Amino acid sequence: MSIENISSNRSSGGWHKQYTHASRTVHCDMRFAIFLPPQASETNKVPVLYWLSGLTCSDENFMQKAGAHRIAAELGIAIVAPDTSPRGENIPDDPDGAYDFGIGAGFYVNATEAPWNRYYHMYDYVVKELPAVIEDHFPVSDIKAISGHSMGGHGALSIALKNSDLYRSVSAFSPIVNPINVPWGQKALSNYLGEDKNAWREYDSCALIKKATSHLPMLIDQGDADQFLHDQLKPENLLQAAEEAGYPLELRMQEGYDHSYYFISSFIEDHVRFHAKHLK
């Protein structure tokens, strides 16, 4: 599969680059960003941290705002940030133009309901197609971890719990951990997957953690001043499910922090170092 470079910027001794490619999974052109640390070469393939962003975001938000390049360069880890949904003139969107569904809000599921099911297969894109593209075109290994924020935190946790053989570790900031029981998740899952709530459970981290057969290292940071904490995020539900399942989970409540990238940039070094321990 061919890819097209659309931007390149020197950063922290390495390179931040953006690419587009024609995706066979979501049937449109997709864009992703990659940070390659200075250690990356054909004779030294580096591990990869995949970052999944939240509602309304693209590949750019994390790369520009999180401040992760310096520590990734120090530790020799590549970072890959895909877009949050398919985009384009023919891509179906929320009919009311709302931000929490449709374009920019793919929720990292494989949609089964028309018209979403032709394009919105972000689960397969993140798990299968994108890593194949990255490993084919860049000096990286198949050793990888996954992380994300909000909707992307939901994606990172649910993907890791369903694919513990593919990732060494998982982390999240302010994740939607129990989408079947919160408004954002209920809207997205009912539209993408239909009304069968058994199908919803296949993307719900609280349900998935209870049936996990292997345990990945898991770190979650949550701000206690997050405006979405009680209505949309509900980290206590995941903590309870993990305790019932005997799944080791580190959940850190951070005093005074909200849902923004100010929060992410304050603790991103902890997360990259956490993954580095398991990626090496």
Active site residues: 150, 226, 259
Name the DSSP letter for residue 214.
Answer: S
Encode 57-124 in three state secondary structure: CCCHHHHHHCCCHHHHHHHCCEEEEECCCCCCCCCCCCCCCCCCCECCECCCCECCCCCHHHCCEHHH
Which sign, positive or negative, has the C-alpha torsion 23, 87, 188, 220? positive
Residue among 130, 145, 158 at smallest CA distance from 3: 130
State the virtual CA torsion across 236, 241, 245, 248 in degrees, nearest 10. Answer: -30
Per-position DSSP letters for 160-188, written without gaps between them: HHH-TTT-S-EEEES----GGGSHHHHHH
CB 137 within 8 A of CB 158: no
Residue whose tokens read 């929490």: 100
Q: Which residues of 41-77 are buried (b: 16+ CB within 10 A; e: fewer)?
A: eeeebbbbbbbbbbbebbbebbbeebbbbebbbbbbb
